[in-house]
Amino acid sequence: MELLGMTGDELSRYCEELGYPAFRGRQIADWLYRKGACEPSAMSNLPAELRERLAAEATISRREVVTESRAADGTTKYLLRLADGETIESVLLPYADRTSVCVSSQVGCAAGCLFCATAECGLVRNLTTGEIVDQVLTLQERGGRRVTHVVFMGMGEPLANLSNVLKAIELLHGEVGISMRRLTVSTVGITPAIRRLAEMDLQLTLAVSLHAPDDGLRRKLIPMAARFPLHDLIRACRDYADRTKRRITFEYLLLAGVNDSQAQAQALARLIKGALCHVNLIPYNRVQGAGKREEWERFDRPSKSAIAAFRAVLEREGIEVTQRMERGHAISGACGQLRRRAGLT
């Protein structure tokens, strides 16, 4: 039995099956998620025989840290090896007043975004709930700081692994103790999953990667988006915001000469006007290394003045705009630069 990834209730039921009272499950959950125990032997308030039983019958699969690279601003990228040998990346972002962790939700990704390093791998597999939560626990320990924010903006498409991601969110909120509002799920825009999330009425933050104001360009940049036309997607986002009263973040990656014109800013404004939202502009980060995709070579980030002009159009239309803080470039830990080391030259 794998303990990491089980909820307090599941652990209680498991303890009952082993012939122990349910409250032992609660104690195990505290050890796993609050105290970061890696071994049953460390769970000092459990009876010795239960500890032995767990050591014999259960596992706590905390991951191995393969490499840790730290940039001058403190941003630290971790390469973690999973039990089956696959590797994923997670990033710790320490700020003065908070500590964010950017987690992966899949090994690889099927979305195929032309500008993203993860796309090159294709989808290998979904991460389990335990593998997602473990990233936060491991980076919290390594960083020596309590994690206050988690963003699902690492490798993978979280809404394509919805059940494991939702359970990880439940654990991060209920067991690790991170406020729901400080958990952000970023998606290429899988409309039916957004509708399901809306029905659950959670207080988490939803970020939707738009990157283009029209379907033609959007499906070129994000091949998976071809299945989810903007018209339906934006309607689902508006419904989501109405239902949850949570402001949606529309992410907009800026690629020079591709999607950064003032006319495109105008079209974007028309698309989202009136929605409870803000736009987060992300200047393109160049993807390093031997990319197989020639398209990468064609992308560039817009000039500061082009970004400012794009932003001004949105603001004139009454849309709130933020700009992604630039961190982690030197260690290829910036947005879109994460990819598996294994198999790369």
- Write out the catalytic residue numbers: 89, 335
| Cβ-based nearer residue to ligand SAH, 140 or 337 | 337
- Amino acid in position 260: D
How many other CB atoms are there within 10 angstroms of residue 157's CB atom?
27
* Minimum CB distance to ligand SAH, residue 304 (Å): 16
Question: Chain centroid to CA 113: how far?
Answer: 16
Which residues in 235-268 are b (16+ Cβ under 10 Å) and which e?
ebbbebbeebebebbbbbbbbbebbbbeebbbbb
- Residues in CB range of 69: below 8 A, 6 or more apart: 76, 77, 331, 333
| Cβ-based nearer residue to ligand SAH, 51 or 220 | 220
| Cβ-based nearer residue to ligand SAH, 4 or 91 | 91
Q: Which residues bind ligand SAH (CB under 6 A)?
A: 111, 113, 115-116, 153, 157, 186-188, 209, 251, 253, 282, 284-285, 287, 335-336
Cβ proximity of 238 and 275 under 8 Å:
yes
Residues 70, 76, 79, 83: what is their CA dihedral angle, to the nearest 10 degrees? 130
Q: What is the DSSP string of 309-338?
A: HHHHHHHHTT--EEE-----GGGT-STT--
* Minimum CB distance to ligand SAH, residue 8 (Å): 29
| Cβ-based nearer residue to ligand SAH, 13 or 329 | 329
Cβ proximity of 78 and 89 under 8 Å:
yes
* Minimum CB distance to ligand SAH, residue 180 (Å): 19
DSSP-assigned beta bridge partners for residue 333? none
How many other CB atoms are there within 10 angstroms of residue 317's CB atom?
14
* Minimum CB distance to ligand SAH, residue 300 (Å): 11
* Minimum CB distance to ligand SAH, residue 123 (Å): 11
| Cβ-based nearer residue to ligand SAH, 8 or 112 | 112
